[in-house]
Structure 1
């Protein structure tokens, strides 16, 4: 376990869509497959078991054809309010693996996604923090903030387009 102090990575965006629509985009497999992942990546949802102890297992394919598997293990679900899970890179069977391009990236990430509606618009806030991470993993996380900002911005762009198309 790390003795390093690291700050949460936090990013938010307000979408021009009601909470019910945004929640469904995050919790229905057929919708997740339409927008999940960084810009340019295609998603294939293998499993979405939305309950504490359930799992979201997915495949992302880069524009160059590189496959990256991921998984989320849900810890807490408050409908239309928040999703809390531990996420990691994965293998095709759903086991935990290292980041395919950054071996010192934290093996596990604690993630909280919060949803708040105002005036038929929904703000989604992502909070990310290494979980049970080594000092090296925490340092890599802190050094990766620009990359995290770019990745989540691209993912939010895809979600925004998905919501607009619906």
Structure 2
């Protein structure tokens, strides 16, 4: 069983504050991420959203666990009605005229392994699309 974290890094042609707003402002997040009813970058803030495959949608239950304004945001990631708990961390690095984003998702192995929706491949495809395409297109439009 693969227990190492999933990590993806991408560099965008924008300043860090634009990335920070994109990952912490619920109205901006709706444009490229998930349809969040509420979100605040505050430790202990709980939020939820639905997402998944075409066959099955899952209610995601999350709680903000770490905030370093402009630099780092971490939150738990669970599925309503399913065992397992994971953590997502967004890190922002100022690289002059560009910004590098590193997303780390740990604990994927804690989810049921008998469903392809919870497979490492599914998370890899999802995060690659979200970070590599959706966020990039939103930031650089």
Q: Distance in 2 between matches of 1:79 and 1:61?
A: 29
Question: Which position in structure 2 is the counterpart of 1:11?
Answer: 8
Residue of structure 1 in register with 2:129 after alignment: 154
Flag structure 1 segments of 5+ consecutive residues without an equivalent: 37-42, 90-95, 99-105
- Paired with 1:132 and 1:12, the residues of 2 have a C-alpha distance of 21
User: What residue in structure 2 maps to residue 92 of structure 1?
Assistant: none
Larger radius of gyration: 1
Counterpart of 2:88 in structure 1 is 111
Residue equivalent to 1:102: none
- TM normalised by structure 2 equals 0.82
Deviation at 1:146, TM superposition (A): 2.7
Question: What is the Cα deviation at residue 22 of structure 1?
Answer: 0.5
**TM-score where L is the length of structure 1:** 0.71
SS of match in other structure, 2:89:
strand
**2: CA distance between counterparts of 1:79 and 1:70?**
24
How many residues of Structure 1 are paired with residues of Structure 2 in the alignment? 139
Shift of 1:67: 3.8
Q: Does 1:81 align with 2:65?
A: no
2:122 pairs with 1:130: no
Shift of 1:65: 8.4
Deviation at 1:125, TM superposition (A): 0.8
Q: Give the CA deviation at 1:61.
A: 7.3
What are the equivalent positions in structure 2 for 1:51-62 lying under 5 Å apart?
A: 51-60=42-51
- Are 1:44 and 2:28 an aligned pair? no
Name the CA distance, whole Å, in 2 between partners of 1:132 and 1:160. Answer: 28
Q: CA deviation at 1:5?
A: 7.5
* Aligned position for 2:119: 144
Change (3 A) 1:97 1:49: farther
Distance 2:57 2:67 in 1: 28
CA displacement, residues 60-88 of structure 1 (integer Å, 9 cap, x when unaligned):
376x5854322320111001111121111
- Report the aligned-residue RMSD: 3.0
